[in-house]
Chains A and B, each alone.
Chain A
Amino acid sequence: MRERFLTGYNDFVLPFVCGMLFVLAYCLIGMIRIIMQLPGEDRKRFFISLVTPKTLVKNIKDIFLKCLIHVDLWKRNKLLGYMHSSIAFGWFMLILVGHIEVFLYTSNLGAKALYYPIFFRYFVAETESTMKGSLIFFLMDFFLLVVLSGIALAIIKRVRSRLFGMRRTTNPSFTDLIGLYSLWSIFPLRLLAESFTADISGGSFLTKSLNYVFTEFLSNHANMLPAWWAYSCALGIFFFVLPFSRYMHIPTEILLIPLRNAGIRIVNARKGLAKAQVYSCPSCGLCIDACPMGVLKGNIRDTTVYLNRQIRRNNESRIEEISDKCLLCGKCTAVCPVGVEGDKLRIAQRSIRRYNFGPDYSNIDVQNEVRRCNKFVNGNNNSVSRPDSHKLLYFAGCMTALTPAIMQATESILKKSGTEYEVMDRDGGICCGRPMFMAGRLEEAREMVRKNTEIILGSGADTLLLSCPICYRIFREEYSLPGIRVIHHTEFMNELISEGKLKVRKGSTRYVFHDPCELGRGCGVYEQPRSVLSAAGELVEAAKNRRESICCGGSLGSLTLGFDKRKAMTENAVANLMSESPDEIVTACPLCQATFGRYSEIPVEDIATVIDRNSK
């Protein structure tokens, strides 16, 4: 290649260069701020993870698969996946190959390196060295075509989002729209600009052909500069609105992935990881369709994508409204392609709320409780304990106390299997702390956690059985019980059945299993309840199940939703479970059971009562 201009400069590169330098500076400062906002311990862990080979490889792999290829979107919908990966990966390859061609064909770059890879074709004339554009130029045109196809799909998606598997999409904000239109115009303008110079600088199947076909218009070199100016301006505008629009997710996600892989959790509601998550939100709106509150149209504006937008705008009253309303079912977290944790983000927002006073449990005498259930401590144990059997402590929890059938059934199963057990809260005990935790009052919740820990450790048990997934989640996440196995009753029954300690008769009833939010998405228990149920009858699946199961609507997560407003959600969740017309709805959460029982036409039971009825 031969340079056309001695200076290698033209004024039209300015909008692009200014925009790019602005974005780079903004992202660099933003990245340093987020890392500095992390608690010292987390920051140290983050830096260590950056140099650990294992996480390093995982970071690179995740960034490639998630940011460029968008694998999660491919799994959801092929068209949606292609649209995103064609734009992201295609653009990345244009930049990469653009740099390669510049370094292959020019020397003495200097400051020209800033804009040559983008505007290369304007500044050079073709010589023999390009082999008539057979390789590099072909690749450039090919990836330009890929990006253009993605842009075409993006335009279609704005009108017909259902083709892409999305019922509702986000309402874009003003800056989002500017970013969107400038992004759409970048690539057609690039095609136009490169087609003008294709007869001088060379090109491939796309640019050169266009130059031949529209020879009257495109070989008029007087039109060349306006086209290059327009291309550069589109890039400049995109870069200038990027930090203030949803496109900020492109650079932020590159930071979020290593932060997540380092195992950092949200500590501050607005800083550090929370900030990285908020800015990583691409406003794709997948959480809108996922949200169980979406059955009522008025709640659409309270989904995670709008929470992120309001946090970016510091709109305190809306942040409070959105974060208090949420059921904390965690489905938005499960479907989010970038990994924004909508539920944890909301708990963090609740935790910065100011109260004049708060609970204080110092007057609760734990020793009294310990004495009541320390059956397994030596000297207090009258029965002959077999060495191989569990020393099991059963914590029923507040919600199970409202559905005593579950407690009876669980105790009956424990007796049938010959397990040695003690009930920790037969007449009600201290709450597990999860409801308080969900209300954002973390310190008060931890006080309850400490009290319960003391009772459990004092009981001498080696297994803690829970029949409520709400308790189960906080016991797994916040409690530290060395030497004690925490187990949910679905897992426990599954073990009893597979070990042959519990004989279950198989009936002909068709059961559908509802995955409770806290058990499924919260603790990742999906298989055990299904295997238990299929021992007792025929198991059918709901339309949306496992990770995508729909919250019953009774969740304690929501602070402001009254009973009247939850009815539509419950009915929607019941309809989802009825897709294969089962005889009975089975769940593993006392709260789900009570909620479904209110509106379901077929019986609703807990898995323990089903198994107890069908076993001997």
Chain B
Amino acid sequence: MMDFGFKISPSSTINLDKVDLEKFTRLHEIEPDVYKCMACGSCSSTCPAGRFSGMSLRKVILDLQRGKEKEAVAMMKNCMLCGKCTMVCPRGINTRHLILSIYRIYAEDEK
């Protein structure tokens, strides 16, 4: 570390968020691309499962970031893994692998 004669003090932000993001951190480790999502909704608008159940990957990602795991898991159960969202994602997120990772990390009977 170079000595500038001063130090940057550690952040004094107080985090009042009560959400436990432990699982989302794990998801992010496997799938760094999850932060690339800009919630444009291309995935949701092309999703064939959306017509039957209102499935939306955009919502799932937002829900997981906000700790609404129960809603996200319920929605994930409708995915058909067809890969249309991968094809249309403007950020090039590998959504199919992201979805499979969600199936692995999160569980159904949560709290």
Contact between B77 and A563, CB atoms less than 8 A apart: no
Of A357, A363, A564, most buried by chain B (CB within 10 Å of CB) is A357
Q: Which residues of B contact A425 (CB under 8 A)?
A: 48
Q: Once the chains are docked, how many angstroms separate the CA of A441 from the CA of B80?
A: 11
Q: Using a CB–CB distance below 8 Å, which chain B residues touch chain A?
A: 33, 46, 48-49, 51-53, 73, 76-84, 86-88, 92, 94, 96-97, 100, 103-108
Which one of B78, B84, B92 lies within 8 Å of A402 (CB-CB)? B84
Report whether over half of chain B's contact residues are helix, strand or loop; otherwise say mixed: helix
**Which of A402, A448, A562 is within 8 Å of B33, CB to CB?**
A562
| Centre residue among A353, A354, A430 by max chain B CB count within 10 A | A430
Known: A355-B100, A560-B97. A430 touches B105 (CB 8 A): no
Are the CB atoms of B92 and A435 closer together than 8 Å? no
User: Nearest-CB distance from A594 to chain B (Å)?
Assistant: 7
Docked-complex contact B78 and A361, CB < 8 angstroms: yes
Contact call B87/A402, Cβ cutoff below 8 A = yes
A592-612 residues at the B interface, CB under 8 angstroms: 594
Chain A neighbourhood of B79, CB < 8 A = 359
Chain A residues near B84: list those with CB within 8 A: 398-399, 401-402
Residue from A356, A428, A441, A591 in contact with B81 in the complex, judged by beta carbons closer than 8 Å? A441
Q: Is the CB of A364 within 8 A of B108?
A: no
What residues on A are CB-neighbors of B78 within 8 Å? Answer: 359-361, 363
**Cβ-based interface call for A559 (8 A):** yes
Q: Does A71 contact B (CB under 8 A)?
A: no
Q: Contacts A355-B100, A439-B96, A562-B94 given: A431-B107 contact, CB under 8 Å?
A: no
Cα separation A448 to B48 with both chains bound (whole Å)? 13
Q: How far is the CB of B12 from chain A (nearest CB, A)?
A: 38
Whether A359 and B106, one on each chain, are in contact in the complex, defined by CB atoms closer than 8 angstroms, is no
Contact B81 A357 (CB under 8 A): no
Q: Which A residue sits closest to B47, measured CB to CB?
A: A428
Q: Are A401 and B83 in contact (CB under 8 A)?
A: no
CB pair B107–A357 under 8 Å, yes or no, is yes
Q: Contact between A436 and B80 (Cβ–Cβ < 8 Å)? A: yes
What's the minimum C-beta distance from A33 to chain B, rounded to whole angstroms?
Answer: 32
Indicate whether A357 sits within 8 Å of B103 (C-beta atoms), given known contacts A363-B52, A439-B96, A562-B92: yes
Establish whether residues A428 and B51, one from each chain, have CB atoms under 8 Å apart when the complex forms.
yes
State whether A436 touches B48 (Cβ < 8 A): no
The answer on a CB contact under 8 Å between A398 and B83 is yes
Encode A3-42 as 1/0 by CB contact (under 8 A) with B. Answer: 0000000000000000000000000000000000000000
Enumerate 11 A-B pairs (CB-CB under 8 Å) in ascending A order: A355-B100, A357-B77, A360-B78, A364-B53, A402-B88, A425-B48, A427-B51, A429-B48, A435-B81, A559-B100, A594-B87
A273-285 vs B, Cβ < 8 Å mask (1 yes, 0 no): 0000000000000
